Amino acid sequence: MKRLRELVGALVVSAAMGCGGGGVEVKPLTPLSFEEWKQLPVDQKYETFNLDRLRLSDPSLATDEAWDAFVQKNILPMRRRDNMRNPAMPR
pLDDT in 10s for each residue of the chain, 91 residues: 555 455 544 544 454 445 555 666 777 889 999 999 999 999 999 999 999 999 999 999 999 999 999 999 999 999 999 988 766 655 5
How many domains does the chain contain in total? 1
Residue-range definition of the domain harbouring residue 76: 29-91
In a domain, 74, yes or no: yes
Q: Tell me whether residue 1 is in a domain.
A: no
Q: 82: which residues sit within 8 A by CB, 6+ positions away?
A: 42, 45, 89
Please report whether residue 24 resides in a domain.
no
- Classify residue 12: in a domain, yes or no: no
pLDDT, position 88: 61
Q: Helix and strand tally (H, E) in the chain? A: 6, 0
In terms of Cβ atoms closer than 10 Å to its own Cβ (0-12, 13-18, 19+), residue 53 is buried
List Cβ neighbours of 70 (8 Å cut-off, separation of 6 or more). Answer: 55, 61
How far apart CA 80 and CA 91 sit, in angstroms, is 9
- Global pTM? 0.64
Give a yes or no: residue 52 inside a domain.
yes
* 58 domain-assigned: yes
pLDDT, residue 20, reads 56
